[in-house]
Amino acid sequence: MADIDVDAVLEQLEDAEKIALLAGRDFWHTNPVHRLGVPSLRLSDGPNGVRGTHFFNGEPAACFPCGTALGATWDTELLHRCGDLMAREAKAKGAHVILGPTINMQRSPLGGRGFESISEDPVLAGKGAGALLRGMEENGIAATLKHFVTNDMEHERNLVDAIVSERALREIYLMAFQVAIRECSPSCIMTAYNRLNGTHVSETKRILTDILREEWGWHGLIMSDWYGVYSTAEAINAGLDLEMPGPTVWRGPTLSASLRVQKVRRKTLDERVRNVLRLVKRCSLSGVPEDAPESTVNTPETADLLRKVSADSIVLLKNENNILPLKKNKTLAVIGPNAKTTTYCGGGSASLRAYHAVSPYEGISDAYGKDVKYTVGAYAHKELPILAPQLMTGDGRKGMIFKAYNEPPSDKKRKPFDELYKTDGVWFMVDYFHPEMNVALWYATAEGILTPDTDCEYDFGLSVCGTAKLYVDGELVVDNDTVQRKGSSFFGMGTAEEIGRVKLHGGKAHKIRIDWASRATMKVQSSGVNFPGGGLRIGAVKVMDASEEIQRAIKLAKGVDQVVLCIGLNSDWESEGHDRADMLLPGEQDRLVHAICAANPNTVVVQQSGTPVFMPWAKNAPAILQAWYGGNETGNAIADILFGAVNPSGKLSLSFPIRNEDNPAFLHQSSEAGRTWYGEDIYVGYRYYQKLKKAVLFPFGHGLSYTTFSMDHLKVQMVKENGTGVQPNTIVVRVAVKNTGNIAGAEVVQVYVSPAPTSDCVSRPPRELKGFSKAFLQPAEEQYVEILLERKYATSYWNEREDSWVEEKGKYGVWVGSSSDFDDGRGLIGEFEISKKSTWRGI
């Protein structure tokens, strides 16, 4: 892709060409101006992997652990390597721009996309994102920080008004972006869907121009989230450069008219176009040609890095009597709904088709090397488990055959214009296209064969964006056509799941057929983003008596030496498009955990979720691992930790409250009459729990190891002058860390700062994270770890009266430890002093 002269191109562009450059060509591409050498750019999701240009039937890709898992590594060097691999993945997919990372705040455990974001703390989120950005940008790939700003929940996300104080906005929500931009300035920033204090963010000049561009001095491209533009002149004048996706809704003839009557001035138009052209010039460094074919780079090195990242993200929450690591010379059972189901990523924009996906059962069985006993114990699904992997095609392959038509099933002479072999069962056709298809209205069938082992009843389910019916041996079992109910599927624009039950016979090949029609046939009005195309989700599960299955699991647990119990959530529960209703584990999982822990004292609970869950059994569980959504290598990484091939070093990237009612946003975690009051103000996550001295289940920054560490010899030094090798106005925190155990491991040194008294009667958190470093140590090894804090970031708060950052004079405390909880007396405490009050703005 050739370089361009931005000013020369801008001078030659006609108005129609300028306007075209400010919106997408299609779902994933910008518009080109070929006569002036301006190519089309390809953009691709996302936050934990690079999908390419297809939700439906796309090329496989590397799926990284989810955002909260990446944050839980507390390892910026490792995240830099992740960014580097993401850049290579982008080049394989022909993408110039990656739509990630996500750094919104988890102000509530229930946020549907909480798993996508890195942390509840802006410093950890910002520094983690900065490391990812460096890995992408250094390789010529443009990265996109998102969603700017306060896009912290899914409920009514396109219309909800986030009411946030200026102080909370500055200290928490903007701060994550501010830190990330300081670490590595990204090429792009994506605006949030929501309103902020009365105005949609995509139309808020104070946020997009006054703060981001002028105060912070950032000069990249601002794009909308998909269908997140709601005006023409207002968005252009506020600073929004690129409307996505295309074809445009707001920038065609409407923008031409706005230019004619000077609702948008030509100077403003040229500023927006210049930013697009700068991005095109920037992307020429990638070496990715225009409209490149998509491919894969599935290498052993890719798998090795994904396995390491996943293992390093796993947090050992509890390990009584050193149950872990497991013993390979003792008998073992694996129980639980997440054991054989690979919950490797959350739902929505983060989802992709992975190169491979290793289940916990597969990883454990491979590492154990002997027979592993198994039973499911309980179900955990929200919608029925995906059907396709349970089926066989007529030629003996696992999966289904998908055929697309322009005519309905009633046309007996119809012929398919496309035929695909499918092994997945969630088909989002938003970017599906075939040259022979009727885009406005088309149809599809999916067929496969289900052969159960024994006589049993099966539940089948369909959720759609469109209409569909499911037949078993020619008999209608599920009708999601005649009558439909609104649901949360497909980003909130699909139906609720309709379920039908049928008796099946063991050993018999039952023919399954689904007839589907595109979105144009849908009976109910969608409430989500207006994506085209449509979608189909096909589920099925054997009907099970919950009490009988738990008794079966208890019997199995009693007959072995040790048990791994795999529980948690999945992409049904944590997904873009909807928030969780509560923190509860679905189904009978809590009952199962209580029963298995009582049946076998050597039970390890492996809990998978992207955000906290209620754990009423935590006191009774001997060992607990928080395993997140671990990407391609989920099962292998879990096995590495369970058997001690990897010593756990993850730390929680967000607080785990005891109950949902304890979390600071409990009274304000959904839209009420179109608005949400951020009533917790600056007291998000651990700041709130410490201020109220409220107990949590597991604190922010918590994580155990198979070895032990000590910290000593804390020294805090203020560097005021040049010539020391350290930038002036830096606080140097130095501490000795020693591995006092008998195996190699890693400890995260976390530095928190407590404030001096304010002169303006302003409430401040007891202490806040300001820096961290991860040290890898051999047994008996001691290292001196040095963490540099920029003084103004370590000390300042936003003073609304003075409309600036304020650094108070006085003594500040420095708290150094291995988590945010210093009540056990294990942390080290130092101090430094500021002699004069000062104010500042900027970055």
Tens digits of per-residue pLDDT, 495-520?
999 999 999 999 999 999 999 999 99
- pLDDT given for residue 726 in this prediction: 84
Is 509 inside any structural domain? yes
Stretch (H or E) spanning 642: helix 634-642
Instruction: Give the residue, 491 or 399, on which the prediction is more confident.
Output: 399
Out of 543, 562, 596, a domain closes at: 543
Find the mean pLDDT for residues 205-221: 98
State how far the Cα of 785 lies from the Cα of 775, in Å rounded to an integer.
Answer: 7
* Token pair of 800 as six digits: 């609304």
Is 490 inside any structural domain? yes
Find the mean pLDDT for residues 546-574: 97
Is 742 inside any structural domain? yes
Find the mean pLDDT for residues 227-247: 97
Q: Give Cβ neighbours of residue 428 (< 8 Å, ≥ 6 apart).
A: 55, 56, 465, 490, 531, 533, 535
The rounded Cα 444 to chain-centroid distance in angstroms is: 31
pTM: 0.96
Is 427 inside any structural domain? yes
Q: What is the dihedral of CA 492, 407, 460, 112, to 10 degrees?
A: -10
CA within 13 Å, CB half, 466: 26
Please, are residues 336 and 592 in contact by the beta-carbon 8 Å criterion? Answer: yes
- pLDDT given for residue 453 in this prediction: 93
Range of the domain at 733: 709-840
State how far the Cα of 838 lies from the Cα of 843, in Å rounded to an integer.
Answer: 15
- pLDDT given for residue 493 in this prediction: 87
The model's pLDDT over 371-406, given as tens digits with 9 standing for 90+, comes to: 999 999 999 999 999 999 999 999 999 999 999 999
Please, are residues 516 and 482 in contact by the beta-carbon 8 Å criterion? Answer: no
Out of 522, 543, 564, a domain closes at: 543
Q: Angle 788-187-143 (CA atoms, 0-180°, nearest 5)? A: 80
Indicate if the pLDDT at residue 364 is higher than 90.
yes
The model's pLDDT over 268-315, given as tens digits with 9 standing for 90+, comes to: 999 999 999 999 999 999 999 999 999 999 999 999 999 999 999 999
Indicate if the pLDDT at residue 672 is higher than 70.
yes
Sheet arrangement for strand 498-504: 426-428, 535-542, 456-465, 498-504
Q: What is the DSSP string of 522-564?
A: -SS---S---SS-EEEEEEEE---HHHHHHHHHHHHHTSSEEE
Q: If pLDDT is split at 50, 70 and 90, which confidence band does 431 have?
A: confident
Is 340 inside any structural domain? no
Query: Could you give the residue numbers annotated as active site?
Result: 225
The rounded Cα 243 to chain-centroid distance in angstroms is: 23
State how far the Cα of 837 lies from the Cα of 169, in Å rounded to an integer.
Answer: 23
The rounded Cα 296 to chain-centroid distance in angstroms is: 22
Q: Work out the mean pLDDT of the chain and round it to a whole number.
A: 96
Please, are residues 586 and 546 in contact by the beta-carbon 8 Å criterion? Answer: no
What CATH number does the domain containing 535 carry? 2.60.120.260
What CATH number does the domain containing 784 carry? 2.60.40.10
Q: If pLDDT is split at 50, 70 and 90, which confidence band does 683 have?
A: very high
Percent of the chain with pLDDT over 90: 92
- pLDDT given for residue 166 in this prediction: 98
- pLDDT given for residue 530 in this prediction: 66
Find the mean pLDDT for residues 707-736: 91
The closest alpha carbon to 314, from 71, 572, 569, belongs to 71
For the chain, how many structural domains are there in total?
2
CB neighbourhood size of 261 (10 A) = 8
Is 832 inside any structural domain? yes
Q: 538 - beta bridge partners?
A: 462
β pairing state of 535-542 and 475-480: unpaired
The model's pLDDT over 165-174, given as tens digits with 9 standing for 90+, comes to: 999 999 999 9
Instruction: Give the residue, 20 or 724, on which the prediction is more confident.
Output: 20
The rounded Cα 34 to chain-centroid distance in angstroms is: 36
Indicate if the pLDDT at residue 737 is higher than 70.
yes
Indicate if the pLDDT at residue 424 is higher than 90.
no
- Strand locations in 281-358, DSSP E? 315-319, 332-335
State how far the Cα of 715 lies from the Cα of 494, in Å rounded to an integer.
Answer: 58
Alpha-carbon radius of gyration of the chain:
27
State how far the Cα of 398 lies from the Cα of 415, in Å rounded to an integer.
Answer: 24
Q: Give Cβ neighbours of residue 799 (< 8 Å, ≥ 6 apart).
A: 167, 760, 762, 805, 806, 839
- pLDDT given for residue 529 in this prediction: 64
Stretch (H or E) spanning 279: helix 266-283
Indicate if the pLDDT at residue 528 is higher than 70.
no
Find the mean pLDDT for residues 11-24: 98
Is 65 inside any structural domain? no
Q: If pLDDT is split at 50, 70 and 90, which confidence band does 723 have?
A: low
Sheet arrangement for strand 400-405: 418-422, 400-405, 443-450, 510-517, 467-472, 475-480
Phi-psi region of 842 (alpha: psi -120 to 50; beta: other; left: phi over 0): left
Burial of 50 (0-12, 13-18, 19+ CB in 10 A): buried
Out of 480, 511, 543, a domain closes at: 543
Q: If pLDDT is split at 50, 70 and 90, which confidence band does 725 have?
A: confident
Helix segments in 30-75, DSSP class H: 67-72
The model's pLDDT over 91-136, given as tens digits with 9 standing for 90+, comes to: 999 999 999 999 999 999 999 999 999 999 999 999 999 999 999 9
Q: Give Cβ neighbours of residue 658 (< 8 Å, ≥ 6 apart).
A: 614, 695, 696, 697
- pLDDT given for residue 527 in this prediction: 62
Is 399 inside any structural domain? yes
The model's pLDDT over 308-326, given as tens digits with 9 standing for 90+, comes to: 999 999 999 999 999 999 9
